[in-house]
Each structure stands twice: as C-alpha cells, then as structure tokens.
Amino acid sequence: MKIIPAQQQHVAQICAIYAWHVEHGIASFETTPPDVAEMAGRLAKVQSHGTPWLVALEGEQVLGYCYLAPYRPRHAYRFTLEDSVYIHHQHGGQGLGRALLSHAISLVEQAGYRQLLAVIGNSENQASLRLHQSLGFNLVGTLQSVGFKHGRWVDTVLMQRTLGDGATLPPSEATRI
C-alpha cells in the first residue's frame, strides 16, 4: 500500500467509497451521494487551499482517503483545519485510516497549522473515535441528536488535536503549505 496525493484519476473511486458511506452509514450526514463532477470539485477546492487530500492505494485501487480542509472560511480560523477520513467498506480495520491521517497530520504540522478538529458523525462510531484518540485528539464535546438519518437521531462528536506549537506562540504566516 502506498499513500499519495489524490489526483483526478482517483475521483471515481473516491466517489464510490463515499457513496457507500452516505447510503449505508451515518458517519456522513449527507443523504444523497455526490456525483463524480461534484466530488472532483471538492477535491479541487481542498487542493486550492494547499491542504492535503491523500489516497491509500493498492496497485491502482483506492482503499481509502483522507483530507484536511479549512475548518471555517473566516480569516481568524486560518490555522485550524478539519479532517475527513473514509475507508472502503471492505478494507476497514487494517490501519488505513491511521496511516492516512498520520501522514496528513505530519504535512500540516510542518506547514505551521495549529489545531485540527474532527467532527465525527455518530457518537457510536467507535472506529473513528478510537482512531482519533490514538492520534492525540481529545474529546471536546457531543452535540446530541443534531442529525436525522436512516430513521434515527444521530449525534456529532467534536474532537481536537493541537498541532506543532499550538497556542503557545503566535503563528508565522510564511509557514503555511
């Protein structure tokens, strides 16, 4: 398995992985899977910010992906990112999420980002909660019953990880990706 930056040639497989999670899971609060054109636009948007969108490949097969995007558009949030990690449903539990997210964290720490947030759909999503906890994320809180999907109310769990110097020193604008 290798981890590389996502490219347009990976979009259809990324789209299929995400569609499965939208249709069968509650990690995403989307209820209709985006089409390939929409997903290509999302990839381009993340890349336009200079933040990583990575894929785990076995041969040419995308096994999973991870991206870090700006948490919010307002300027004061410019050193804070939010992660997204999705693994092909037949390849969970193999350490792919950890490998992808660890690699992405390394890239953005070197670039000078200071905080990373995980907004985890479904407080019962033990795999995602354990993944984030194992990589140094702390529980910030739970928004209870904020989503309704597949006939049930779903929580959102907020987790946070300090990157690099965190809030101990002012940021340097020059160290961004």
- pLDDT tens digits along 1-56: 999 999 999 999 999 999 999 999 999 999 999 999 999 999 999 999 999 999 99
Does 172 fall in a domain? Answer: no
How many domains are contained in the chain?
1
Per-residue confidence (pLDDT) for residue 171, from 0 to 100: 83
Does 155 fall in a domain? Answer: yes
Residue 145: give the domain boundaries: 2-167
CATH no. for residue 121? 3.40.630.30
Read off the pLDDT of residues 47-106 as tens digits, 9 standing for 90 and up.
Answer: 999 999 999 999 999 999 999 999 999 999 999 999 999 999 999 999 999 999 999 999
Does 15 fall in a domain? Answer: yes
Axis-axis angle for helices 96-110, 126-134 (nearest 10): 40
- Paired residues of 119 in beta bridges: 158
Quote the longest CA-to-CA distance of the chain.
Answer: 48
Residue reference for tokens 């999420």: 97
CA pair distance 128, 126, nearest whole angstrom: 5
CA pair distance 177, 175, nearest whole angstrom: 7
Does 44 fall in a domain? Answer: yes
Does 175 fall in a domain? Answer: no
CA pair distance 33, 38, nearest whole angstrom: 10
CA pair distance 51, 16, nearest whole angstrom: 22
